[in-house]
Structure 1
Amino acid sequence: MSLGPDKKDKRRAALMSIAEERGYITLAEAAEALGVSAQTIRRDMNELEKLGRVKRTHGGITFTGALDQRAWRQRQRSQTAEKKSIAERIASIVTDGATIFLDIGTTCEEVALALLARRNLKIVTYSIRSAAVFDDREDFTVAIPGGIVRHIDGAILGAGGDDFISQFSFDYAIIAVSGIDMQGRLRDDDEFEVLRVRTAIAHARQTLLALTTDKIGTGGLVKLCDLSEIDVVVANDELPEPLADLVLAKNVELVSL
């Protein structure tokens, strides 16, 4: 007996939910998670791709609709001067010849521009927009993982991104977050991004957090790390007292602009 449309819709919604949470999922993983055959999942993936919700990749799908376009455009326009100041300060910390992991997001895109003041950098990023900033610099070496480009923010999505990053050792991991709470928990909205950033932090000598104060007290779906795993916080303003005290207690260097 064939499945009714309601059951198909529910299964495809569940598949979308898993893909959204992970960023990428293989056909075999999806079939196991939903308890159906690989052939059924393949048909679901084909239908979801026709709707523009995902992109088929070798052996799986990449979620392409995780970000709300209006929210992203608003993020691009918010605190632009503050982001530039943070970026310039971070670039002044970075030494010539360093190996760097550069996170994704509008603040990190400003960091990319500021890093043009340095020389002989080796940069790993999964932001195609940041990578493009360095295109004319013959003294820079830039490495990016393979995958599908998420057009709204230039993220390169696909399986194995964290494995790609784990091949490197970094002098600096430069990261940004969706939010930080008063207990010092850093959070982001995309588990796919979190896995990559966690890997970079684990392979970095120093981790620098680019923090605009509008992120303080805001949430995020996925915990990235604790404040104690950050070496330097560069913020555009003084932090509220509870968080500033916590930074001091955890021996994190704070640079307030």
Structure 2
Amino acid sequence: MTGDLTITDRQRDIADLVQSDGFASVEALAERFQVTTQTIRRDLARLCEQGILRRTHGGVEPPAPVGNLHYARRQILNLPAKRAIAERVAQEVPDGASLAFSIGTTPEIVMQALARHTALRIFTNNLHVAFSASQAESFEVTIAGGRLRHGDRDTLGAETERFFSAYKVDIGIFGVAGVDTDGTLLDFHEEEVAARQAILANCRKAFLVLDATKFGRAAHVRGGHITDVDAVFCDHPLPKDLDAALRADGRQVVIAAHAR
């Protein structure tokens, strides 16, 4: 895999389509994007080099689910959906609020959408979030200490949990690696769950931000239930059982539509 993660808009759209559908043939992609099969093959070669897709007979499919993708590759995927979610979350955040942000690409994009706000107080273990927040002069940014994870550029562990437990914030904003069919929230590492749970325990409102690909996605560490949060922000209607459970518990479900 190459270190240069630059891809074209068409390549990003191809990646999103394959992630959503599970497979796409060269011919179908060429017809959809109105380009030659040779052009599509070059696009697919680029995406496979990046580890975003993998080749299979007659086309491409998402990579094998052996773990989470590198952070920079996750930043590429489902970007229009994440931006739509972020803009919708920003509408729910008042100026002057205090917010705790967890790791993940969608919380980072939410932070970017808050750039027009004023006097926010940000608490985070996500250096991507901290960097975005630090560009707004009126924001106060406090970050967790500890050992930095390469690639993800975040901190986890006991120090991070103590960090979030030291504050009571207005809104906690976090994502998850996956949501099981029964609504169980899933991540890849125990420390990711512990940090998220520390935010949940120390915020007045909890916002779960996730795109629709997270529903049914395999990840092996359990950490709470979708009904534990106050609001779920997604780009697509939730599975009916989960939507009903959230609304029955008085939780807010916000669907952020975007151009597909």
TM-score by length of 1: 0.70
Q: Give how far 1:70 is off.
A: 5.0
Q: Which residue of 2 aligns with 1:232?
A: 231
Q: Which residue of 1 aligns with 2:186?
A: 187
CA distance in 2, matches of 1:184, 1:70: 22
Q: Which residue of 2 aligns with 1:27?
A: none
Aligned ranges 1:1-257 → 2 under 5 Å = 71-257=70-256
**Larger Rg over CA atoms:** 1
CA distance in 2, matches of 1:145, 1:193: 14
CA distance in 1, matches of 2:116, 2:179: 29
Note the alpha carbon deviations across 1:5-31, whole angstroms, 9 max, x for none. xxxxxxxxxxxxxxxxxxxxxxxxxxx
Q: Which residue of 2 aligns with 1:5?
A: none
Q: Give how far 1:158 is off.
A: 4.9
CA distance in 1, matches of 2:161, 2:102: 12
Query: 1:102 touches 1:125 (CA, 8 Å); kept in 2?
Result: yes
TM-score by length of 2: 0.69
CA distance in 2, matches of 1:223, 1:79: 24
Q: Give how far 1:134 is off.
A: 1.8
How has the CA–CA distance of structure 1 residues 207 and 70 changed in structure 2, closer, same or farther, with 3 Å as cutoff? closer
How has the CA–CA distance of structure 1 residues 186 and 157 changed in structure 2, closer, same or farther, with 3 Å as cutoff? closer
Gaps of 5+ in 2: 1-65
Query: What letter corresponds to residue 254 of structure 1 in structure 2?
Result: V
Percent identity for Structure 1 against Structure 2: 33
Query: 1:175 touches 1:197 (CA, 8 Å); kept in 2?
Result: yes
Q: Give how far 1:124 is off.
A: 0.5
Q: Give how far 1:81 is off.
A: 0.3
CA distance in 2, matches of 1:251, 1:93: 17
Query: 1:146 touches 1:158 (CA, 8 Å); kept in 2?
Result: no
Question: Is the partner of 2:134 in helix, strand or coil?
Answer: coil
Question: Is the partner of 1:119 in helix, strand or coil?
Answer: coil
Note the alpha carbon deviations across 1:106-165, whole angstroms, 9 max, x for none. 111101101112110001110111101122322111111112221211112454211111
CA distance in 2, matches of 1:201, 1:70: 25
Q: Give how far 1:94 is off.
A: 0.7
